[in-house]
Amino acid sequence: MGAPPLGPPWSQITAYDLNKGAILWQVPNGDAPELAARGIKNTGSPAARSGGVVTAGGLIFIGTPDRKFRAYDQDTGRVVWEKEVGGPINGVPAVYEINGREYVAVCVGSAETRGNAPNPTAASQYVVFALPGK
């Protein structure tokens, strides 16, 4: 399946209290698609290469190669939203505001693959999501 030999979780998001030097919460980041298809979830993506971004409203957005873009609650680490985007995400999302409304944009790689790897010559796209208004 191409998974690392050590057991999951293979990637995690960790929130720290920097004043106390303590971990506040830690959650798996994404899933291994082959295992998720068999009902095995919360493994963390074995190939996560994306960074996250935090919005003014307290959401952490991060994408993973399992073709999902997720929003986590910054206080609990709970997934509050996720969306299948049709291709792997390996970059850092961008957050911006227009007329008081926040938007988050992410670059999605092509769903076309060569073997198990994304095809680097296939077209990618930017996908933009509007956050709920205030």
List Cα–Cα distances, 19 to 22, 26, 73, 77, in angstroms. Answer: 8, 17, 20, 19
Structure tokens at 98: 């227009």
Helix (H/G/I), strand (E/B), else coil: 64? strand
Secondary-structure class of domain 12-130 per CATH: mainly beta
List Cα–Cα distances, 64 to 18, 23, 42, 101, in angstroms. Answer: 26, 23, 13, 25
Q: Residues 86-104: what's their mean pLDDT?
A: 89
Return d(Cα 103, Cα 127) in angstroms, integer. Answer: 10
Query: What band does 37 get if pLDDT is binned at 50, 70 and 90?
Result: confident
pLDDT of residue 48: 67
